[in-house]
Chain A
Amino acid sequence: MFTVTEQEKTSGPIWVAREYSKCSGCRKCEIACSLHHEKKIWPEASRVRVFMLVPGTEFPHLCTQCEDYPCVKACAFKALDVNESTSAVVVNSERCTGCGKCVEACPGKVPHLHPKTKKILICDLCGGDPQCAKVCQEGGWNCLRVIEREDREFKLFARIPEETAKALATKMYGEKAEELI
């Protein structure tokens, strides 16, 4: 814990590697994300959201950029697109109707509507320099870290929050976890 690694600069597609059990629950990623995108501290408008369905099992819930991008396919209004240089899903706010089809299509139910504009919010990897990972690294938690995107099993991270919380609770609290959820 608390070893600070230099954020790797890459030119190609990137991925925010996540190690949930290292999340302290500080929500600095939410703060950084909303400051970057909204110029405000606005946790609900953050593209990364920290869930705490069981105390101690906090984890950042953010887009994992599935190889087949089911959200992009599900959008009837062509409001979602993939940025080729970063691999991030990019939202065209003018086209988005806030219908929620992409949320339904997402295996992890990651996207959510902006509380004010009612347009969909999906991590855009900050155009290649994710702020969430930066603050996580500054604090030495190393829960979020930017790596080069390889061909890996990223979709495994696209799980609904309840499922992730339960797994983490079992890991931390053993059999007791059943009673805590």
Chain B
Amino acid sequence: MLGYNGKFLEVDLSSSRFKDVTVPEEWLKDYLGGRALAAKIMSERLLSKWETIDPLGPENLLFFMPGPFTGYFPGGRTCVTGKSPQSNGMVGSTVGGEFGVELRCAGYDGVVVSGKAEKPVYLFIKDNDVEIRDASGVWGKDCKQTEALLNKECRKLLAERYPRVGVWKQPAKLYIGPAGERRVRPSVVVAKWTHAAGYGGYGAVMGSKNLKAIAVRGTGPLPEVADLDKVTQMIDETCKSAYENVLWRRWGTGGGGYNFGAETSSEPVRNWQEEWHNQKSYGVDQFENKVWVKPAWSDFGCPTNCLKISCIRSGKYKGAITDNPDYELQAFLGPNLGLFTPEENVYLSSVIEDLGLCGIQGGSILGFAAELYQRGILTETDLGGLELKWGEADAFAALAKKIAYREGIGDILAEGTYRAALKLGKMKGKDLLPFTVTSKGISIGAHGIRSGRDFSREIGYACSVQGGDHTSQTDLPLDGWGSEIWTIFNDSAVICIFTAFNISRTFRYDFYKAITGENLSRKGWLNGGGMKTLQIQRAMLLLGGPDIKWNPSVDDDNPERFYDPLPTGPCKGRNANHERVKQKVRQYYQEACWDQNGVPTSESLAKLNLGYVDESLRKLRRQPCI
């Protein structure tokens, strides 16, 4: 099919074997690529025994999936997914960088990894030459070291194997840090030091497979498209509209550090005890003037350059390097921990990223622990001598290291906020879930719902098949533009939403047509691939296991904290309305064709030709979850 290479690379690390595989063309037409196609392949293979699959066991499949838009649509992204060690469902997590582009230029539409290597390995793909290589030289290294060492090793190999062709560029890489190696649930899959596939915890899945990295060098062109002139014309249109977004290009998401804190009052402050601050010290202009060393940083073909690079050049935190930091890390490793200076935020971001921890999930755990310390539930002794006071950057950095290396209390916190709350709650004889702000085991992104001023919605997290993932929120009506059906499209095509603000909504179908030659319509996606993927992911989430299962009547809801009135700021007193949320959840069930227990109905699955999904859900229907 045009726009695709027509083959995927499947690697079984247990037997050290790999082969090229294909999928039926109807799957490509229905599910495009990325998140949706991975969910389809995964469900066909593992849904029937989903609840027995340990996300950190060898049976789990790990997908690295670009989509038909990757490389063509400005701003390259790749979807990383599998069974999530955070939600026990499947979370399509996308990461920026050149990996997907190189992979498509190497002749592959994706990589599927199963099994577990005996010893640490990395995968090196040079076009059709695939090699499983010893990773003992990079295992244990932090992300910045890993990037450098792999560049050196791979470029040396290329120079030796292909002499006289000239100097080789670096391969594109995805890798994990020490946190992923230790199966820390909130660990990420990293590209270019600072980019991460965060939600889902796939760094831990790579670690569980003893897979340190995948490096790829593709020397071919991107797959042939149906109408190249149309594609290039549409790329130009996208870029031109992005160029008009002057301040967005200049500041990226960094403007949020002040905006969401001060104006929309929806930023986590001291573990969501508040969602407001009025610290102008935390304005993006302060970051720009104090710590940026690169004002425009782009991934492949990106006109937006929402990324920047920050470096602390002198003083206590000298040598700390990170990107922007983007709004999420500004929030979670800033006000969320009572920190309000660019320098401390850059330092903590740099520490977290070097360890391969998730800035959002990691920041959530640090904030959760600090609140327990504030309330006297966790003591200095529990924390191995750390005084975990709000605003103490060094203490938070020390705790982050304990988590990544699973030392002391870090071993419990390494299970992520939700699971840590259950474990610590048992130890302390207290219900600690009220201090967690999570949905389906995933800490909620830095966009609260209480003020009602942010883009986040009252049931945005409660009904999402990706839990707390702020980039996959949903809303009523299900066929409207705020619903998750469209984030599924973005994660499957795969596109970056930050270059697509100003383009028309029909743009995606025309672009798809220009690439593949196939027709796609709003209705087609709503009643086809989009809806099918939603139901498959919902089924996975409900089946859950092996350690935790979600009960829709309890878990299709917001965290308790969102029902507490905001204590400060311009929206003081506002909260989410529980009755209204319940009513909206019921309405959502209806529109998504889920029964009163939140399970997709047999009729709707039959209509979608997903009989096998219905089959796997039977066990849930026998025991209505009330």
Contacts and interface: CB of A to CB of B under 8 A. Distances in A.
A107 interface: no
Contacts of B319: 173-176
A138 B243 contact: yes
B194 interface: yes
Contacts of B148: 54, 179-181
Contacts of A55: 147, 192-194, 309
A109 interface: yes
A40 B249 CA distance: 28
B299 A2 contact: no
Interface string B208-225: 000000000011111010
Contact of A113 (B164, B222, B295, B311): B164
A14 interface: no
Given A24-B296, A138-B243, A172 B311 contact: yes
Interface in B139-157: 144-145, 147-148, 151
Contacts of A103: 164, 166-167
A33 to B, nearest CB: 13
Interface stretch (A45-53, A86-94, A144-152): A45-53
B101 A43 contact: yes
B303 interface: yes
Interface string A143-181: 000000000000000001100000000001111100111
B108 to A, nearest CB: 15
Interface string A53-71: 1111000010000000000
19 contacts: A2-B246, A2-B250, A22-B296, A26-B298, A26-B300, A27-B98, A35-B232, A38-B221, A40-B221, A42-B220, A55-B194, A100-B165, A118-B165, A139-B239, A139-B243, A173-B311, A176-B311, A179-B145, A180-B147
Interface in B278-310: 293-303, 305, 309
Given A24-B298, A56-B297, A109 B166 contact: yes
Contacts of A118: 165
B340 to A, nearest CB: 25
Given A41-B222, A176-B321, A100 B309 contact: no
Contact of B170 (A1, A38, A51, A98): A51
In this complex, the member of B170, B219, B232, B294 whose beta carbon has the largest number of chain A beta carbons within 10 angstroms is: B294
Contacts of A27: 98, 298, 300-301
Given A44-B218, A54-B147, A112-B165, 19 more contacts: A1-B296, A21-B294, A27-B98, A27-B298, A27-B301, A41-B72, A42-B220, A52-B170, A53-B170, A55-B147, A55-B192, A100-B163, A103-B166, A174-B313, A174-B318, A174-B319, A175-B319, A176-B319, A180-B148
A15 interface: no
Contact of B243 (A25, A140, A173): A140
Interface in B408-452: none
Contacts of A141: 296
Main secondary structure of the interface of B (DSSP, over half): loop
A50 B297 CA distance: 13
Contacts of A49: 169
A13 to B, nearest CB: 25
Contacts of B166: 100, 103, 109-113
Contacts of A52: 169-170, 192
Given A35-B232, A172-B294, A161 B167 contact: yes
Contacts of A140: 243
Interface string A103-130: 1000001111101101000000000000
B220 A115 contact: yes
Contacts of A1: 250, 295-296
A56 B301 contact: no
Contacts of B192: 52, 55
A77 B147 CA distance: 40
Given A28-B301, A140-B243, A161-B167, A115 B219 contact: yes
Nearest to A109: B167
Contacts of A34: 221
Contacts of B268: none
A25 B299 CA distance: 7
B105 A43 contact: yes
Contacts of A61: 167
A31 interface: yes
Nearest to B246: A2
Nearest to B127: A115
Contacts of B299: 25-26
Nearest to B165: A113
Interface string B174-196: 00000000000000000011100
Given A138-B243, A180-B148, A56 B232 contact: no
